Amino acid sequence: MFGGDDDAAAHTESIRARLREMKVSTLKRRAQSSDRELYNLGITFTVYSDRDAIDRVLPFDVIPRVLSRDDWSHIERGCIQRVAALNRFLHDVYHEQHILKDGTVPAELVLRNSNFRSEMKGLDLPHGTYVSICGIDLVRDGQGVFRVLEDNARTPSGVSYVVENRHLMMRAFPDLTGNVGLRQVSNYGMHLQAALAEIAPPSVSDPNIVLMSPGVFNSAYFEHVFLAREMGVPLVEGRDLVVEDDCVLMKTTGGLRRVDVIYRRVDDAFLDPEQFNPKSMLGVHGLFRAYKAGNVSLANAVGTGVADDKAVYAYMPRIVRYYLDEEPILQNVDTHLCREPEGLAYTLAHLDELVIKPVGESGGYGIVVGPKSTRAELEECRARIEKDPANYISQPVIDLSVCPTLIDGAIEPRHVDLRPYIVTGKESWVLPGGLTRVALRKGSLVVNSSQGGGTKDTWVLE
Amino acid sequence: MERAENLARILDVNETFARDEQGANDWLPILKLHRDEEAFFERHKEATSENVVRFYILDSENPNSIIYSVKAARENARSIRHLVSLETWMQLNVFYNWVASLTARNLRLSELSRLCGRIKEGVQLHSGIVTGTLYRDQVWSFYRLGVFTELADQITRLVDIKYHALLPSWQDVGSPVDIAQWNALLRSVSAYHGYRRVFPARMTPTTVAGFILLSPRFPRSLTHCVSNIEKTLDELLTNEDLADISFPRDSLETLKELTGRSPDDVIRGGLHEYLDEVQVALLAFGDQMAATFFHVH
């Protein structure tokens, strides 16, 4: 195993050499004990059925995904560039709207977008940072080029797995992780805390930061706990906060305490029943008033969803050039917009070759992979597109790169993607590596945890 | 967790010691102790050992069961997981998963004592881990206040019901059955050896109830709990974050007065009435805690 393959990348040679000395049965045994540890640690996400809430462990593959220093430096620069462009774009669409007025991006694509929050117009944010935490999904195509599949500029999740996976690997494979020159990931909490402090209202010198969670029933609750703990900040729910005189206060045993920065893991719509969804039980009355008055900062800002929309995505290369006057370092996947006549015609003519994605969905739901669909499924897809073309985009099937993966006691290739995390206060910092998701089903290209995906530890070499 | 431990103690002791003259176990007192007769007989015809043990260990719909208590403890820990240590959470998680995996086979009478032992150990491990790892701030103080209030509540209930159950045999004081019952009571709260050291030769209702409730050296006694509540509360109130808080001390003063009485006074004035007063004061104390620190009215 791991040997004799001419295609294997040179930078992984020392790691492959160590793995070669390990028996598959050893690997399997350690994998099982890692799984048990994840379960015991309660590093789980919750799946709700009609009757029960079941805690599931996200499957973890013990064979790491290794990135060379050069590849990483390319990705890192590309991600920082992209986040800079996203922030400039958001500032513009909530202020002068130059990019819409001169037609570089169609105005109605932004203004009619359900994630566009007109309440944000004219609001100035510290450092112009709208997207403090960004997760950019990358895939590597057949030519070995990393391409952006999706920007996640609302509340990207999964970073807790990156850190926990590494801890797990260090415990289970001390013989593999030692002395390979691995960039560390365990300082994520410190970087995040520092970035959040930077976006605090400028008048505050020692800001009080809190993490706001929808609560214990949220499927990502483990991650909320993890982040609060890693940053050393209180974990709160909406009911723990009140707004008085346009200031956000937190209930404590000693009375009310001022809150300056909220890393919220609650969607825009549920943040403040006064401003948004009036039925929200998760939010805080008057939070948006306090935000608008500049008395509290939110990460991410309200209204960032308009930038990670799948239709806006297609314009990202143009957005990068427009604001930064630079060529995009990371390429998009070619994208056909069904809202445009040429895009629609092309998509309908090549349905069986394309991946069709609804614009508003996340978690891999609603995706149709043309070459893997039956004729009936394609016809159903065609009908849906024709009914509401603007809701769909299509992309060529990317032959996602593969990584060796332990499947039932054998090593097999499985498709992977990569989600680096970019943390931005005044400036951007990228967590070395990010989350590698792996499609455990043979041949599958869908890596989402809700669709049979697992994760790997991602190693960036020094 | 304290509740789960207490249940394990009671089930264990009932199996081992509380036999009548014929050597048969009577499981009804356990139901009475928790005022569970109604709930139990809705589900079961007879208070057989199998039914009662199952009801108190595995019945997840019974709020007085071990599985229910451990699950609640785990859910509570989950919601404050950022405040408790990783080890605390992990042990609680593993412990709950183990309890949840128990089946009827594990509850066989021949296994019961060992099973109760493991449950007790699980809780003791928990409290050891918390003591060894929890950061000493307000969270620690509130944890201790919760533990001692719960222990105080349980010990008064236990003595109350046992004492009542024993009253009919009052005239048989000193008979083998009676001695066995007092024995069982002492052992159920791990007080037997301590008691023996203080009273090597005597076993009367007054000395037993007096020891369990009022011995300042017995770690589960009411007196011990109340003095720890006071100590912890005083410590908590020195916290500068809580400088503006004023805590009404009347219920605590009542508890101190009650635990300051002698066993003879307590029995003479009526044990049941005494325990009632304690329960009322404990309840009032809990309400004052909630209102003062958590703004729950």
pLDDT digits (tens, 9 = 90+) for A355-391: 998 886 555 677 888 888 999 999 999 999 999 998 8
| pLDDT > 70: percent of chain A | 95
A210 close contact with B: CB closer than 8 A: no
Mean of pLDDT values over B41-70: 91
B chain contacts of residue A255, beta-carbon cutoff 8 Å: 244-245
Is residue A397 over pLDDT 90? no
* Residue in A41, A225, A253 nearest the CB of B293: A253
Round the average pLDDT of chain B to a whole number and report it. Answer: 87
* Minimal C-alpha gap between B88 and chain A (Å): 10
Token pair in block for residue A294: 């500049």
Q: Which residue of A has its CA nearest to B98?
A: A40
Which pLDDT score is estimated for B50? 87
Confidence of residue A40 (pLDDT cuts 50, 70, 90): confident
A53 close contact with B: CB closer than 8 A: no
| φ, ψ for residue A236, nearest 5 deg | -125, 165
* Residue in B81, B90, B242 nearest the CB of A253: B242
Confidence of residue A255 (pLDDT cuts 50, 70, 90): confident
For residue B101, CA distances in Å to A72, A354, B50, B96, B227 come to 45, 47, 18, 8, 39
Q: Which residue of A has its CA nearest to B295?
A: A253
Is residue A194 over pLDDT 80? yes
Mean of pLDDT values over A48-63: 75
Q: What is the pLDDT of residues A72-116, one digit of tens each?
A: 999 999 999 999 999 999 999 999 999 999 999 999 889 988 899
| Residue A236, strand partner residues | A212
Mean of pLDDT values over B21-50: 80
Q: Which residue of B has its CA nearest to A211?
A: B82
* CA dist., res. B227 & res. B219, Å (int): 11
* Minimal C-alpha gap between A225 and chain B (Å): 5
Which pLDDT score is estimated for A14? 83
* Residue in A216, A251, A254 nearest the CB of B245: A254
Choose from A160, A222, A235, A253 for mutation: most chain B CBs within 10 A: A253
B85 close contact with A: CB closer than 8 A: no
Q: Which residue of A has its CA nearest to B289?
A: A253
Which pLDDT score is estimated for B173? 53
Q: Are strands A209-212 and A235-236 parallel, antiparallel or unpaired?
A: parallel
* CA dist., res. B139 & res. B144, Å (int): 9
Chain B from 65 to 84: CB within 8 A of any A CB: 75, 78-79, 81-82
Is residue B269 over pLDDT 80? yes
Which pLDDT score is estimated for A449? 74
Q: Note if the bond before B228 is cis, omega within 30 degrees.
A: no
* CA dist., res. B158 & res. B211, Å (int): 13
B chain contacts of residue A228, beta-carbon cutoff 8 Å: 82
Choose from B82, B88, B293 for mutation: most chain A CBs within 10 A: B82
Token pair in block for residue B198: 């203080």
Confidence of residue A3 (pLDDT cuts 50, 70, 90): very low
Q: Are strands A402-407 and A410-419 parallel, antiparallel or unpaired?
A: antiparallel
Mean of pLDDT values over B39-67: 91
B295 with A228: Cβ contact below 8 A: no
Q: What is the pLDDT of residues B225-257, one digit of tens each?
A: 999 999 999 999 998 888 888 888 999 999 999
| pLDDT > 70: percent of chain B | 91
Which pLDDT score is estimated for A4? 43
B241 with A254: Cβ contact below 8 A: yes
Residues A241 and A249: beta-carbon distance below 8 Å: yes
| Among B172, B153, B207, B205, CA closest to B34 | B153
For residue B186, CA distances in Å to A87, B189, B190 come to 69, 6, 6
Which pLDDT score is estimated for A154? 95
Which pLDDT score is estimated for A313? 92
* CA dist., res. A158 & res. A453, Å (int): 13
Mean of pLDDT values over B90-94: 93
B86 close contact with A: CB closer than 8 A: yes
- Kindly tell me the burial class for residue A369, based on how many C-beta atoms sit within 10 Å of its own C-beta (0-12, 13-18, 19 or more): middle
Mean of pLDDT values over A308-329: 94
Which pLDDT score is estimated for B25? 63
* Residue in A228, A235, A251 nearest the CB of B295: A251
Confidence of residue A136 (pLDDT cuts 50, 70, 90): very high
Is residue A1 over pLDDT 50? no
**In this predicted model, which residue has the larger pLDDT, A109 or A153?**
A153
Supply the ipTM of this predicted assembly.
Answer: 0.73
Which pLDDT score is estimated for A149? 92
* Minimal C-alpha gap between B121 and chain A (Å): 18
A chain contacts of residue B82, beta-carbon cutoff 8 Å: 225, 228-229, 234-235
Q: Which residue of B has its CA nearest to A41?
A: B90
DSSP character at residue A130: S
Which ranges in chain B belong to alpha helices (H)? 2-16, 28-33, 37-43, 49-57, 66-79, 86-100, 109-133, 138-166, 176-188, 192-198, 205-214, 222-237, 250-259, 263-268, 271-293
Residues A46 and A53: beta-carbon distance below 8 Å: yes
B90 close contact with A: CB closer than 8 A: yes
* Residue in B90, B138, B244 nearest the CB of A41: B90
Choose from B75, B78, B80, B81 for mutation: most chain A CBs within 10 A: B81
Which pLDDT score is estimated for A219? 82
A chain contacts of residue B97, beta-carbon cutoff 8 Å: 39-40
Token pair in block for residue A372: 């893997």
| Residue A453, strand partner residues | A439
Which pLDDT score is estimated for A2? 44
B242 close contact with A: CB closer than 8 A: yes
Which pLDDT score is estimated for B16? 61
Which pLDDT score is estimated for A7? 63
A73 Cβ neighbours under 8 A, 6+ residues apart: none
Radius of gyration of chain B (CA): 20
Confidence of residue A343 (pLDDT cuts 50, 70, 90): very high
For residue A373, CA distances in Å to A283, A352, A353, A453, B219 come to 41, 8, 10, 19, 69
A40 with B90: Cβ contact below 8 A: yes
Q: Which residue of A has its CA nearest to B89?
A: A41
Q: Three-class SS string for A292-333? A: HCCCCEEECCCCHHHCCCHHHHCCHHHHHHHHHCCCCCCEEC
A chain contacts of residue B142, beta-carbon cutoff 8 Å: 253
B chain contacts of residue A234, beta-carbon cutoff 8 Å: 82
Reduced to 3 states (helix: H, G, I; strand: E, B; else coil), residue B21 is coil
Which pLDDT score is estimated for A42? 77
* Minimal C-alpha gap between A221 and chain B (Å): 9
Confidence of residue A120 (pLDDT cuts 50, 70, 90): very high
Chain A from 251 to 270: CB within 8 A of any B CB: 251-255
Chain B from 274 to 293: CB within 8 A of any A CB: 293
* Minimal C-alpha gap between B71 and chain A (Å): 13
A42: left (phi over 0), alpha (psi -120 to 50) or beta: left
A40 close contact with B: CB closer than 8 A: yes
Residues A264 and A298: beta-carbon distance below 8 Å: yes
